[in-house]
Chain A
Amino acid sequence: MVEKSTLKKLFERSYIVIALVLLYTPIFLMIVFSFFNTSSFSFSKGMSFNAYIQLFTSSNASTLGQAFKNTLLIAAISSVTATILGSFASIGIFAMSKRSRKIVENVNQLPVINSEIVIAVALMLFFITFRFPDGYTRLLLGHISFCTPYVVLSVMPRLMQMDSNIYEAALDLGAKPLRAIVSVIIPIILPGILSGFAMAFTISVDDFIITQLNKGTTSGIETLSTYIYSSQHTAGGLKPYWFAAFSIIIVVVVGALLLINLRRYKKTPSKRAENSR
């Protein structure tokens, strides 16, 4: 009987381990082979830092740097805009009557549930129909439109948890609406606003399909995603320096997320446990 349960435990543990190993093997291999100056997973060229050096010296280094800058610039502008737009919107939506609130929340849900390709082509048709200027305008508007809903989704729960009389209490004590929002509501929902911003930023950085279809052929704007795609697709394979770039991205993203979450996990272990129950 005891043996059976330990066997079960062993089985469960190995199942999880195998699943995790499978999940991490490809990206782990990417990091390993970034040190072998290769454009396939092979050891033939020996270990070196050439790939990393090429990041800065190859003929495409400036394009790569530009793509990197574009990605961050678009993500920064659109996530800041989305955060401001979405945070105020949440406060507004929260105060709406039930019916209009439901309508707005459903529209808010559209970009979240919709398939990216549909969002991308719909935006493309819209921009073409109304002759929006090519390039950054289209990309920024597009990115803001699919990032803002995530900000709203992240701020709304905070508002819901807030004592429903807080805003009224501020008015009651003599604050005008704008003052009440700035000095009472916003400080209270700040954690939601911050995580909404983080979400908007990462979603914007990660986007490929919507950017690919709306960047336009003439503007020549590339973000990291579209540049990876075109390098692989049209240039017929990636140069070794890409492996280095990927590895850096993987380490930075996974490391940063792990750090943030571990910290929060340690900070509120009891709360977490309660929630998970």
Chain B
Amino acid sequence: MTTDKIIELKNVSKSYDEKPVVSSVSLTIKKGEFVTFLGPSGCGKTTTLRMIAGFEKPTSGTIYISGKDMTTSPPYDRNVNTVFQNYALFPHLNVYNNIAFGLKLKSIPDGTFFVDKNGNKFENLRKLTKDEIAAKVKTALKMVDLEEYEKRNVSSLSGGQKQRVAIARSLVNEPDVLLLDEPLGALDLKMRKDMQIELMNMHKKLGITFLYVTHDQEEALTMSDTIVVMKDGIIQQIGTPQKVYDEPANAFVADFIGESNIFSGIMVTDFNVKFCDHSFECVDKGFKYNEPIDVIVRPEDVSILSSDDARAALLATISSCVFKGDHFQITAIIAGGEDYEMLIHDNVNCRPGDKVGLYIKPSDLHIMHKARIINEIVTEMWDTNTVEICGGKFPCQCDLPSGTKVKVSVDFDDVIIYDDENDGIIGGEIVNTIYKGNYYQCVVRTDTYYDFFADTEDEWLKGDRVGISVAPDKILITKLEETI
């Protein structure tokens, strides 16, 4: 018992048929914490959970549970229990027997000992008695408010009741960690809200570590002590809900958690940033001068002023205003630029066409390094005037001979995306799209797992197959010196 670390992952990776799903995930979870894995579907959060439960074995890396290396232990040897998204209740057993299932298999020390030939002392084990099991099941049922349901057939229960039985079935085994895989995903909105509160209460009362997987950012923000944001199998940020919301680590986190305006800009000098064709005072420093950056502005951090207010940093025209219960959701087109769009949450009612002034506090401008500013690929010339990129032959303007090692650079603007995969030189899948005020930045993953960043006018749907091509004169080629 060295620390209060209950789970520790060290460089855990998992790939299916060479395709990486989880890449080098490292994190520690403290005893009693409520940790949420948050991310879009396919980000590797469920796979990570399943590796902790023991349903999947990591391709590499180590998993420690209570300080012991449990990387390859089967699920039945781990003192963690899982609540599945579709409950996975045993349909042939009633509520009582579903909950008693784990207890009937359990062995506990009976207080007596025996000593083997080598003098090692062992505790004798025994099964739980019928009465002990009954008592435990009863307590568990009471905890989830289903005392009268012992004899009920599980197929006769409602979704919420099934969920409670599933939780009771796991908790009755007194696990060190309770794993919950999108447990509320199948419930309707109201039921979900109620269960959220109940789960939080249970967590507080029992002191068991909860590891929760969800794609619902609101759920994560409400329930967790710590949020782990994941994307493409990589942890993007670990932090408290407050921190993840207020100080997103990158544009993805900002876009995924809460709503946000994301603009491309330039850090002119320390404390001075330029975006939407305007300069702003900010609180960030330490960037290179004139470094391209992303600026993130939360909609509720933008205040609407009258257009002649001295504080107004920007002038804008309202394009829509929708009442959302406790605030207005307003979109405004910033004047004097290339029609950048700003999303605003404020409690000022305005009408489309109104001219207004906008103000953002310097501390509410979140500035972050860009993940990439240009697509760069190291490859070879296929032939004179043809270069190989991600398995495709791209015509280019370069007279280097076949086989020359080169570096290819393509601006985000110059990547052309086609609806029909066959129209492009190579094909790929859209893995991400972010709106940047007046254009979309999408990431296209080629079949060789290179991510092309592309700035486009159109929004592309995540998961769609598209074609990629680049005009020959937009492919910048530099020869790489052979280094042997």
Contact = CB atoms under 8 A, between A and B. Distances in A.
Contacts of B170: 172-173
Given A179-B105, A188-B91, A188-B92, A173 B86 contact: no
Contacts of B471: none
A169 B173 contact: no
Given A174-B102, A174-B105, A168 B92 contact: no
Interface of A: 163, 165-166, 168-176, 179, 184, 187-188
A169 B82 contact: yes
B82 A168 contact: yes
Contacts of B74: 171, 176
B94 to A, nearest CB: 13
B149 interface: no
> Chain B binding site: helix, strand, loop or mixed by DSSP?
loop
B449 interface: no
B211 to A, nearest CB: 13
B76 interface: yes
Interface string B81-100: 11011111111100000000
A175 B82 contact: no
Given A165-B86, A176-B76, A187-B92, A170 B81 contact: no
A165 B101 contact: no
A187 to B, nearest CB: 4
Contacts of A169: 82, 84, 88-90
B271 interface: no
Q: List the 6 closest A-B pairs by CB distance, nearest first.
A: A173-B102, A165-B88, A169-B88, A171-B75, A174-B105, A165-B84
Interface of B: 53-55, 74-76, 80-82, 84-92, 101-102, 105-106, 169-170, 173
B167 to A, nearest CB: 13
10 contacts: A166-B90, A168-B84, A169-B82, A170-B90, A171-B74, A172-B54, A172-B76, A172-B80, A173-B81, A175-B76
Contacts of B102: 173-174
Contacts of A174: 76, 102, 105-106, 173
A163 B86 CA distance: 7
A162 to B, nearest CB: 8
A188 B75 contact: no
B208 to A, nearest CB: 15
B88 A188 contact: no
Contacts of B81: 172-173
Contacts of B169: 173
Nearest to B79: A174
A168 B46 CA distance: 14
Given A187-B92, A188-B91, A168 B75 contact: yes
> Chain A binding site: helix, strand, loop or mixed by DSSP?
helix
B53 A172 contact: yes
B88 A173 contact: no
Contact of A170 (B80, B85, B101): B101
A188 B105 CA distance: 19
B9 to A, nearest CB: 19
A169 B92 CA distance: 14
A172 B92 contact: no
B204 to A, nearest CB: 24
Nearest to B169: A173
A201 B181 CA distance: 43
B203 to A, nearest CB: 19
A168 B88 contact: yes
Given A179-B105, A187-B92, A188-B92, A172 B86 contact: no
A175 B78 CA distance: 11
A179 to B, nearest CB: 7
Contacts of A168: 53, 55, 75, 82, 84, 88
Q: Which of B76, B85, B91, B101 has the most CB of A within 10 A?
A: B76
Contact of B75 (A166, A172, A179, A184): A172
A173 to B, nearest CB: 4
A117 B92 CA distance: 43
Contacts of B55: 168, 171-172
Contacts of A163: 84, 86-89
Contacts of B82: 168-169, 172
Nearest to B75: A171
Nearest to B166: A169
Nearest to B16: A97
Given A163-B86, A168-B75, A179-B105, A173 B92 contact: no
A270 to B, nearest CB: 15
Q: Which of A163, A168, A172, A174 has the most CB of B within 10 A?
A: A172
B84 A173 contact: no
Q: Which of A165, A176, A179 has the most CB of B within 10 A?
A: A165
B76 A171 contact: yes
B176 to A, nearest CB: 13
A212 B170 CA distance: 57
Contacts of B91: 188
A163 B87 CA distance: 9
Nearest to A187: B92
A184 B98 CA distance: 10
Contacts of B87: 163
A157 to B, nearest CB: 15
A172 B82 CA distance: 7
Given A166-B88, A169-B82, 17 more contacts: A163-B89, A168-B82, A169-B88, A170-B101, A171-B55, A172-B54, A172-B82, A172-B170, A173-B81, A173-B169, A173-B173, A174-B105, A174-B106, A175-B105, A176-B74, A187-B92, A188-B92
A87 to B, nearest CB: 16
Contacts of A176: 74, 76
Contacts of A184: 90, 92
B101 A173 contact: yes
Nearest to A184: B90
A97 to B, nearest CB: 9
Contacts of A171: 54-55, 74-76
Q: Which of B53, B81, B86, B88 has the most CB of A within 10 A?
A: B88
A96 to B, nearest CB: 14
B244 to A, nearest CB: 29
B81 to A, nearest CB: 6
